[in-house]
Amino acid sequence: MKVTAPEAPPARPLPEICQAARQANCGECWQVPGKPCTAGPEGDHVARYAASVLAATALDSSTTPEEAAEKVRGLFAGLAEAGYGFPPECQAGVLSELAAMGAAS
């Protein structure tokens, strides 16, 4: 009997991830979704990209948007307990990106 692992879902291409990052408020300059950041390389800040990556990591094919949001909240709570204080806007940015991804799926 041959046992095989299930096929992994395909990774999203980097341009698609960067486009999704623009759907969240920028954590650096607070530009609203759909508009380029006021400064930075090619109009995007790392904070927007990081929010997209964290949200995409939390939301996979076996996770509901609600479960993914709970993962994100748990991550930020754990970071706070460990002494890595992130402003509430960081968590809000990731949750905003997560909501946009959940609505698109």
Q: Classify residue 36: in a domain, yes or no.
A: yes
| Interval 80-105: pLDDT, tens | 888 877 778 788 888 888 888 776 66
Q: Classify residue 45: in a domain, yes or no.
A: yes
CA separation (Å) from 99 to 5, 66, 68?
Answer: 30, 9, 10
Domain of residue 33, residue span: 14-104
| Interval 53-82: pLDDT, tens | 788 888 777 788 888 889 889 988 988 888
Q: Classify residue 94: in a domain, yes or no.
A: yes
What is the Rg, in whole angstroms, of the alpha carbon atoms belonging to the chain? 15
Determine the Cα–Cα distance for residues 58 and 52; give it in Å rounded to an integer.
10
Report the pLDDT value the prediction gives residue 27, as an integer from 0 to 100: 67
Q: How confident is the model at residue 44 (pLDDT cuts 50, 70, 90)?
A: low
**18-33 mean pLDDT:** 71
Of 65, 53, 43, which is closest to residue 21 (Cα–Cα)? 53
Q: How confident is the model at residue 14 (pLDDT cuts 50, 70, 90)?
A: low
Q: Classify residue 56: in a domain, yes or no.
A: yes
